[in-house]
């Protein structure tokens, strides 16, 4: 095995790949080596490691060794014989503190101590595309944050383009709650962006250090400043698309002595415009990544890749997610795997799934309006959100109204579980009706004496056609509806209409349905009235499921178009 091409050929026979959260280092290295593009490899590395920076560095070095070395893959497995596991020290799930992280081992061994006119002092953060260093500008004697592409993605032609795009986007902006860009340049192979240094770290780190409940009015004032900064971006036709706590840096206010202990003492600064897009530039599906944003904070249209809907409303949704996390201490969408998180986002229902009960009603209304599934149901602008947050913080009535009861009912009907519930209702009703038709046969078979006289053979012949249509088709379609088969809701509506119509004709007709009811119209009326009520319940359940069925059909159409 002489290089990366031979190494990849050796592992092409691997067919099954474990899930990201269960991959061993050996399998992770195999999977990373299958990706030739450095940017895509870096994205995969982020998915595999998350906030575990120790494992990220280890896997990156193993992949580099696999590309350049002649050792078999077993040599890269930490569990391989002869390798001491004591040399690996991991702290899973503990992200880097942007304000206080010491120089890591790789940086301390690196000869790179200066880029351009800036002296590098320590590595303070790692992102999907670049590393962020604390640096010093000796000419002006000031601290700066220097963003440099990661070494493993330097060879990609997309790196320079993305850096230039981020710099151009940020250079158009001038707002007190946005990180200021000081200089953009390059030093040999290293392009860099020098920006304002924020000494308070980032909001994600602050929330981990301060898990106690936050004052909702302080949270509203803080997020009003962030929303105002995002509106400034939108006013210049730029959408951020990656707003999250780690992209909100903190600066202590001048009138506060301790900027780290109290939310009211913090001044937010929004940063990282690496995914920013101009509103009038159409997203290119061939060159852009499949997901635009961070899964825990992305809007439903981003999770579903509905690129025609991605815009300012997507940033409003992210603002709502950050506000929810800041006010309650919990993320609205969370899960052990990416799939679970995306499923929660796609079926978002803020009225029933989010822990907002302890918050004031107006703040719950603000968060709920931000986290609506459809972009048209959210705040129309970030400025409108900012105004309501400031009104709430000053204890004045907010302008936005709660979502109307009719709209909430429509959104409730659109949830995919309505289809499954309709199938369960149908199966239960049909089993009950069929059991009622033939229950006396079961009692007679068990030796019980039924309290009425009936010609069993005649009754059986009369009920068989009814059982075969519509009861048996409805029962079968009920199971199809539970499995959410195509057209099952439409078929169920048609059969339910036949069911209700047949019962209505018996109730309002002069002739009894079966010979057993002749001469006893009251018994016939009561029996058929009860079954008719159940048939109406079944029909209503199918009608309620129509919006969910329409939504599911549209999603299948979009999926087929993508394929």
Under the banding of pLDDT at 50, 70 and 90, the label for residue 45 is confident
**How high is the pLDDT of residue 190?**
77
**Structural domain containing residue 71:** 4-87
List pLDDT tens digits, range 254-278.
Answer: 544 454 568 888 999 998 877 777 7
Same domain flag for 333 and 462 = no
Same domain flag for 359 and 219 = yes
**How high is the pLDDT of residue 351?**
53
Q: What's the average model confidence in pLDDT over 342-362?
A: 75
**How high is the pLDDT of residue 82?**
34
**How high is the pLDDT of residue 47?**
73
Max CA pair span of the chain: 108
DSSP conformation class of 451: S
DSSP letters, 492-507, are HHHHHHHHHHHHHHHH
Higher pLDDT: 268 or 54? It is 268
Which range has highest mean pLDDT (70-84, 114-128, 300-314)?
Answer: 300-314
Same domain flag for 109 and 66 = no
Selection from 76, 67, 82 nearest residue 1 by Cα = 67
CA–CA distance, 244 with 346 (Å, rounded to integer): 18
Per-residue burial over 58-92, b = 16 or more CB atoms within 10 Å of its CB, e = otherwise = bbbebbeebeebeeebeebbeeeeeeeeeeeeeee
Higher pLDDT: 222 or 459? It is 222
DSSP reduced 3-state for 149: strand
Under the banding of pLDDT at 50, 70 and 90, the label for residue 155 is low
**How high is the pLDDT of residue 319?**
97
Same domain flag for 250 and 327 = yes
Selection from 425, 451, 427 nearest residue 523 by Cα = 451
Higher pLDDT: 294 or 284? It is 294
**How high is the pLDDT of residue 95?**
34
Residue 487 has pLDDT above 80, yes or no: yes
Number of alpha carbons in the 13 Å side-chain half-sphere of residue 323: 32
User: If you count DSSP H runs as helices and E runs as strands, how many of each does the chain have, helices first?
Assistant: 21, 10
Same domain flag for 240 and 371 = yes
CA–CA distance, 510 with 415 (Å, rounded to integer): 43
Q: What's the average model confidence in pLDDT over 375-387?
A: 94
Contacts 24+ apart (CB under 8 A), 347-354: 347/415, 347/416, 348/300, 348/372, 348/373, 349/373, 349/411, 349/412, 349/415, 351/408, 354/324, 354/328
Under the banding of pLDDT at 50, 70 and 90, the label for residue 183 is confident
Under the banding of pLDDT at 50, 70 and 90, the label for residue 158 is low
Selection from 379, 378, 132 nearest residue 274 by Cα = 132
**How high is the pLDDT of residue 125?**
77
Binding residues: 147
Same domain flag for 230 and 344 = yes
**Could you give the percent of the chain with pLDDT greater than 70?**
73
User: Last residue of a domain, which of 134, 161, 196?
Assistant: 196
Same domain flag for 546 and 454 = yes
Contacts of 538 (CB under 8 A, 6+ apart): 425, 426, 429, 474, 492, 496, 499
Sign for the pseudo-dihedral over CA of 108, 110, 114, 120: negative
**How high is the pLDDT of residue 479?**
96
CA–CA distance, 313 with 301 (Å, rounded to integer): 10
Q: Give, in degrees to the nearest 5, the angle at Cα 293 between 126 and 279.
A: 120
Same domain flag for 425 and 397 = no
Question: Among 233-242, 334-343, 554-563, which is the least confidently predicted range?
Answer: 554-563
User: Last residue of a domain, which of 355, 386, 413?
Assistant: 413
CA–CA distance, 435 with 425 (Å, rounded to integer): 15
Our answer to whether residue 262 is catalytic in this structure is: no
99 domain-assigned: no
94 domain-assigned: no
Based on the structure, what is the number of domains in the chain?
Answer: 4
Under the banding of pLDDT at 50, 70 and 90, the label for residue 253 is low
Residue 106 to residues 100, 260, 392: CA-CA distances in angstroms? Answer: 17, 29, 48
CA–CA distance, 418 with 415 (Å, rounded to integer): 6
Same domain flag for 409 and 427 = no
Residue 92 has pLDDT above 50, yes or no: no
CATH code of 162's domain: 3.30.200.20
List pLDDT tens digits, range 421-478.
Answer: 999 999 999 999 998 888 767 766 777 765 566 677 887 888 899 899 999 999 999 9
As given in the structure block, the two tokens for residue 350 are 């803020």
**How high is the pLDDT of residue 383?**
96
Q: What's the average model confidence in pLDDT over 485-514?
A: 88
List pLDDT tens digits, range 1-15.
Answer: 333 333 333 433 333
98 domain-assigned: no
Selection from 85, 273, 66, 17 nearest residue 165 by Cα = 273
Measure the N-to-C terminal CA separation of the chain; round to a whole number of Å.
37
93 domain-assigned: no
Same domain flag for 143 and 76 = no
DSSP conformation class of 214: P
- The catalytic position among 242, 315, 362, 388 is 242
Higher pLDDT: 253 or 132? It is 132
DSSP reduced 3-state for 263: helix
444 domain-assigned: yes
**How high is the pLDDT of residue 31?**
78
Are the C-beta atoms of residues 305 and 379 closer than 8 Å to each other? no
Higher pLDDT: 420 or 21? It is 420
462 domain-assigned: yes
**Could you give the percent of the chain with pLDDT greater than 90?**
30
351 domain-assigned: yes
Contacts of 168 (CB under 8 A, 6+ apart): none
432 domain-assigned: yes
Binding residues for ATP: 147
DSSP reduced 3-state for 39: helix
Question: Among 60-69, 499-508, 530-539, which is the least confidently predicted range?
Answer: 60-69
Same domain flag for 547 and 446 = yes
Residue 134 has pLDDT above 50, yes or no: yes
Are the C-beta atoms of residues 144 and 136 closer than 8 Å to each other? yes
Same domain flag for 389 and 326 = yes
CA–CA distance, 252 with 199 (Å, rounded to integer): 8
- The whole-chain average pLDDT of the chain stands at 78
User: Last residue of a domain, which of 396, 413, 430?
Assistant: 413
**How high is the pLDDT of residue 65?**
64
DSSP reduced 3-state for 27: helix
């Amino acid at each position: 095995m002489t290089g990366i091409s031979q190494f990849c050929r050796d592992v092409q026979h691997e067919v099954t790949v474990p899930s990201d959260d269960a991959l061993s280092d050996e399998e992770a290295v195999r999977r990373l080596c299958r990706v030739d593009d450095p940017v895509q490899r870096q994205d995969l590395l982020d998915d595999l490691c998350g906030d575990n920076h120790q494992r990220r560095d280890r896997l990156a070095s193993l992949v580099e060794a696999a590309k350049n070395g002649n050792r078999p893959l077993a040599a890269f497995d930490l569990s391989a014989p002869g390798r001491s596991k004591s040399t690996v020290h991991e702290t899973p799930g503990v992200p880097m503190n942007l304000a206080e992280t010491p120089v890591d081992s790789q940086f301390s061994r690196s000869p790179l101590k200066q880029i351009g006119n800036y002296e590098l002092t320590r590595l303070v953060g790692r992102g999907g595309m670049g590393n962020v260093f604390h640096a010093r500008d000796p000419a002006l004697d000031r601290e700066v944050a220097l963003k440099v592409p990661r070494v493993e993605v330097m060879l990609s032609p997309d790196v320079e383009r993305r850096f230039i795009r981020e710099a151009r986007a940020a250079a158009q902006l001038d707002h007190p709650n946005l990180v200021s860009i000081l200089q953009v340049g390059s030093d040999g192979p290293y392009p860099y962006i020098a920006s304002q240094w924020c000494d308070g770290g980032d909001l994600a780190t602050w929330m981990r250090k301060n898990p106690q409940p936050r004052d909702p009015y302080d949270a509203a004032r803080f997020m009003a400043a962030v929303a105002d900064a995002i509106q400034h971006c939108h006013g210049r036709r730029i959408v951020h698309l990656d707003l999250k706590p780690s992209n909100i840096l903190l600066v202590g206010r001048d009138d506060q002595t301790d900027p780290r202990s109290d939310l009211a003492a913090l001044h937010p600064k929004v940063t990282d415009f690496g995914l920013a897009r101009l509103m009038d530039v159409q997203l290119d599906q061939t060159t852009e990544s499949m997901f635009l944003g961070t899964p825990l904070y992305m809007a439903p249209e981003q999770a579903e890749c509905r690129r025609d809907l991605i815009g300012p409303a997507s940033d409003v949704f992210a603002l709502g997610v950050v506000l929810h996390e800041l006010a309650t201490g919990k993320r609205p969408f969370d899960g052990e795997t990416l799939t679970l998180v995306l499923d929660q986002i796609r079926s978002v229902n803020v009225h029933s799934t989010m822990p907002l009960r302890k918050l004031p009603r107006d703040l719950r209304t603000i968060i709920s309006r931000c986290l609506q599934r459809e972009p048209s149901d959210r705040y129309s602008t970030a400025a409108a959100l900012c105004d309501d947050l400031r009104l709430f913080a000053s204890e004045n009535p907010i302008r936005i109204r709660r979502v109307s009861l009719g709209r909430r009912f429509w959104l409730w009907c659109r949830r995919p579980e309505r289809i499954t519930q309709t199938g369960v209702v149908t199966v239960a009703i049909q089993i009950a009706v069929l059991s009622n038709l033939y229950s006396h046969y079961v009692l007679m078979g068990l030796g019980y004496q039924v309290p009425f006289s009936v010609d069993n053979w005649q009754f059986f012949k009369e009920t068989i056609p009814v059982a075969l249509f519509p009861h048996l088709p409805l029962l079968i379609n009920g199971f199809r509806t539970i499995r959410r088969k195509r057209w099952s809701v439409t078929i169920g509506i048609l059969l339910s209409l036949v069911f209700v119509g047949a019962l209505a004709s018996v109730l309002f007709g002069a002739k009894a349905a079966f010979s057993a009811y002749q001469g006893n119209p009251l018994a016939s009326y009561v029996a058929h009235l009860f079954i008719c009520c159940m048939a109406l319940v079944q029909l209503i359940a199918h009608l309620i499921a129509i919006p969910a069925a329409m939504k599911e059909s549209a999603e299948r159409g979009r999926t087929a178009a993508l394929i």
